[in-house]
Structure 1
Amino acid sequence: MYCRKAKLKLPMKSILEEYKCGKARLLTMLEESDDPVVKTVQPSLKTGRKWKVTEAVDESKECLKMKEVIGQTQTDRSGLGSTTAKWWSKTEGKEKNGHDHR
C-alpha cells in the first residue's frame, strides 16, 4: 500500500502520520474554538499509551516559539532579506491552526 514502485499506491507516506496529524488538528480546533462551551469543556482525546496528542501539540508550539526567539536565519544561498517569515504568534484563526491551504 505504501510502496513507491507499485502502480496503485496511497498518496500518503504513513497511515500513522495521518492519524497523528488528524488528532493534533482536532485538538487545536477544540482549543481555539470560538464557542465558549467547547473551550471550557476541553474533551480528552484518546490516543493510546505510546503517544499523547496534548504533549505533541505542546511540544510543537514550544518549537514554534523557540524559532521566533532565534529569529530568521539564512538557510540557502539567496541573499539576506530575500524571504519573509510568518511568525506563529502573529497569525490568527485558521492560519494559526494550520488550515490555510492557499
Structure 2
Amino acid sequence: MYCRKAKLKFPLKSILEEYKCGKARFLTMLEESDDPVVKTVQPSLKSQRKWKVTEAVDEAKECLKLKEVIGQTQTDRRGLGSTKAKWWSKTEGKEKKGPDHR
C-alpha cells in the first residue's frame, strides 16, 4: 500500500504521520481560536501512550523560538540577506498555523 515503486501507490507516506499532524493541527487550532470560550476550555486530546500531542506541539514551538534566537544563517550559496526570513513570533492568523492549514 505504501510502496514507492508500484504503479498504484498510496499518496501518503505514513498513516501514523498523518494522524500526528492532524492531532497537532487540531490542538493548535483550539489554542489559537478567536473565540474566548474555546481558548479557556482547553479540552484534552487523546493520543497514543508513547506520543503526547501537547508535548509535541510545545517542542515544535520551542524549536521555532530557538531558530529566532539563533537568527538567519546561510544555508546555500546565495549568501546572507538574499532571502527574507519569516519569524514565527511576528506572524499572525493563518500564517502562524502553517502552509497546510485548510
Q: Identify which range, 91-100 or 26-35, moves more after superposition.
A: 91-100
Equivalent residue, structure 2, for 1:96 = 96
- Counterpart of 2:29, as a letter, is M
Deviations 1:11-39 (A, max 9, x none): 11111110000000000000000111110
Alpha-carbon distance in 2 for matches of 1:30, 1:19: 17
The percentage of aligned residue pairs carrying the same residue is 89
Alpha-carbon distance in 2 for matches of 1:37, 1:52: 24
Equivalent residue, structure 2, for 1:60 = 60
Alpha-carbon distance in 2 for matches of 1:71, 1:80: 11
Stretches of structure 1 lacking an aligned partner (at least 5 in a row): none
Large movers: runs of 4+ above 3 Å: none
Alpha-carbon distance in 2 for matches of 1:6, 1:100: 27
Alpha-carbon distance in 2 for matches of 1:87, 1:100: 18
Distance 1:32 1:51, change over 3 A: same
- Decide whether the 8 Å contact of 1:94 with 1:100 is kept in 2: no
- Decide whether the 8 Å contact of 1:2 with 1:13 is kept in 2: yes
Equivalent residue, structure 1, for 2:45 = 45
Stretches of structure 2 lacking an aligned partner (at least 5 in a row): none
Displacement of 1:99: 4.4
RMSD (Å), alpha carbons: 1.2
Alpha-carbon distance in 1 for matches of 2:80, 2:50: 42
